[in-house]
Each structure stands twice: as structure tokens, then as C-alpha cells.
């Protein structure tokens, strides 16, 4: 089911603890800043400490003028190398500082080139599947106990409907996005009746991000949504989990 909610902003995420992967760039960065402005305690996850620190500094600078904006938590993690041992460390760090998690947003992504299946580089295939499907599974599984401690938690996945049904040359990326849609559906069915966790898949549309420039370097980016505009849909879903529970939203 594809649903477009009637977004009403501003929203509040006061007293919410929200983890955002891919927080150093694109929609992840924009969402992390917006969530902090909405009152959330944000956990910034990304592979590059320098870029994460820039987002951290921006949020802290905003907090000097608005007491409702809290200092974020930095978790520099290379999701391409994520293992069960890493996720246990992430779980313990969040548990020790917050004791719960109210939102888990999977926005980390990259595209390692477009190739036909017959020539597809095996390492790039494995990296793409790991980043877009295996790492979200590992992180979600590990953090479920913390999400279950929330009275109203959200797990948000990002998909790409333009390729997830099968599009030539998108290879592992298309397969991973199709897989994440299925993973979201089965996770919703498993959690719907015995937890307060909402699982939602979001297609933000065509966004002017670094990833988009890799695929379409000659595209007219003035016609595309900005990451800041796209982040509003994710923000709305975090603030209204029961309205978007189990849905595919665009």
C-alpha cells in the first residue's frame, strides 16, 4: 500500500531518542538536524568522523540559541564493515546513555557504479548488498530490545521504487532495495501485534544528493527535491508512527 500522508509541520520529537544512519550527508544529515530542532536526542551514525563532526557542530551551534536542542551523540561506524560484534557495541553505548531508542532510521547508502550482470564486479555486489540490506538487518536486530523499551517507536527504511522492481544495470542496488521492502513487510507483521514498534518504508522520490549525481551527473538538479525537503516526510513518520505503521509511503 502506498500512502501519502497529509503532513502537518512543525512536529515535536521531545524526549525522543532517534538514531539516523548516513547522518553525515544527504537526507540523513538533513533529517538529523531537523529531528534535533524538533527536540529529539539524535544519534549520528556515519563512516567519516570529520563529516559527522560538522553535523554535530551545526546542531550544537543551534542549541546555543534554543535550549530545546540537545547535544547529539556521535557514532562513527563504517556500515560496510558492520558485524554482530559492532552492533553489540552500538547497543551497549545507547543503552548506557539513554536506556531506550524511539526511532531507527536507515538512510546510509551508496552506489558503486552501474554494470550489466554479466560483468558485475563481485566485490561491488557484496558491498552494495551489505550496505543496503545486511547492515540494516544487523542493526535492526541488535537494537530491537531498546526499541521495545519505547512507548511508541519507529523503524524507517528508505527504498527506491524506480529500481526496486527491476531496472537494467542497477544490479545489487535494485536487489537490495527490493529486499529491504520485503524485510520491512515481514518485520511489520512480526512486530505489529505484540510491540509498540511501527515499521514503515519510505520512497522519498528523486532527490538532489551525492548519490543521484553519481547516477545522473547531467541531470537538472533544480527540478529535484532537496535533501531538506525530502527529510520532512521522514520527520513526519517519526512524529506520527501509528498513522504510517506498516505502510509504504511516497
Burial class (CB in 10 A: 0-12, 13-18, 19+), 178: middle
Q: Are 192 and 246 in contact (CB under 8 A)?
A: yes
CA separation for the pair 131, 73 (Å, rounded): 22
Q: Is there a catalytic annotation at residue 91?
A: no
What region does 246 belong to: left with phi over 0, alpha with psi -120 to 50, or beta? left
> Which of 56, 91, 170, 173 is flagged as catalytic?
173
**Half-sphere exposure of residue 207, counting CA atoms within 13 Å on the CB side?**
25
Show which residues are catalytic. Answer: 173
Amino acid at each position: 500500500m502506498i500512502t501519502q500522508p497529509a503532513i502537518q509541520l512543525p512536529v515535536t520529537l521531545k524526549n525522543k531518542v532517534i538514531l539516523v544512519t548516513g547522518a553525515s550527508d544527504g537526507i540523513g544529515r538533513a533529517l538529523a538536524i531537523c529531528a534535533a530542532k524538533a527536540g529529539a536526542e539524535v544519534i549520528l551514525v556515519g563512516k567519516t568522523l570529520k563529516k559527522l563532526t560538522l553535523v554535530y557542530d551545526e546542531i550544537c551551534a543551534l542549541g546555543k540559541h534554543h535550549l530545546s536542542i540537545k547535544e547529539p551523540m556521535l557514532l562513527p561506524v563504517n556500515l560496510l564493515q558492520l558485524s554482530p560484534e559492532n552492533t553489540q557495541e552500538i547497543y551497549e553505548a545507547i543503552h548506557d546513555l539513554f536506556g531506550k531508542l524511539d526511532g531507527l532510521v536507515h538512510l546510509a547508502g551508496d552506489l558503486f557504479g552501474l554494470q550489466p550482470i554479466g560483468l558485475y564486479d563481485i566485490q561491488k555486489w557484496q558491498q552494495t548488498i551489505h550496505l543496503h540490506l545486511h547492515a540494516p538487518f544487523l542493526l535492526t536486530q541488535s537494537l530491537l530490545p531498546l526499541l521495545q523499551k519505547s512507548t511508541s517507536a519507529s523503524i524507517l527504511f528508505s527504498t527506491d521504487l524506480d529500481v526496486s522492481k527491476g531496472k537494467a544495470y542497477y544490479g545489487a542496488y535494485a536487489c537490495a532495495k527490493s529486499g529491504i521492502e520485503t524485510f520491512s513487510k515481514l518485520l511489520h507483521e512480526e512486530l505489529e501485534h505484540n510491540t509498540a514498534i511501527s515499521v514503515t518504508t519510505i520512497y522519498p522520490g528523486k532527490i538532489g544528493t551525492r548519490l543521484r549525481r553519481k547516477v545522473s551527473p547531467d541531470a537538472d538538479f533544480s527540478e529535484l527535491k532537496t535533501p531538506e525537503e525530502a527529510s520532512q516526510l521522514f520527520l513526519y513518520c517519526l512524529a506520527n508512527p501509528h498513522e504510517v505503521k506498516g505502510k509504504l509511503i511516497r
